[in-house]
A = this chain, B = another copy of it.
Amino acid sequence: MTKHTEIQQPLRDEISLSKVLHALSDPVRMEIILKIARAGQVACGAFDIPMPKSTLSHHFKVLRESGVVASRREGNELINSLRSEDLEARFPGVLDAIIAAGSR
A: residues with CB less than 8 A from B are: 17-19, 21-22, 24-27, 30, 90-94, 96-98, 100-102
Q: Which 6 A-B pairs have the closest CB atoms?
A: A93-B97, A91-B101, A21-B25, A22-B25, A94-B97, A97-B97
Which of B18, B27, B98 sits near A94, CB closer than 8 Å?
Answer: B98
Distance (whole angstroms) from the CB of A23 to the closest CB of chain B: 8
Contact of A97 (CB < 8 Å), options: B18, B25, B91, B102: B91
User: CA A17 – CA B5 in complex, angstroms?
Assistant: 35
Q: Which of A27, A30, A96, A101 has the most CB of B within 10 A?
A: A101
| Complex Cα spacing A26 to B94, Å | 16
Residue of B nearest to A93 (CB): B97
In contact, B17 and A101 (Cβ under 8 angstroms): yes
Please tell me which one of the listed residues B18, B30, B90, B92 contacts residue A18 in the complex, with CB atoms under 8 A apart.
B30
Known: A92-B100, A98-B94, A101-B92. A18 touches B22 (CB 8 A): no
Q: How far is the CB of A3 from chain B (nearest CB, A)?
A: 36
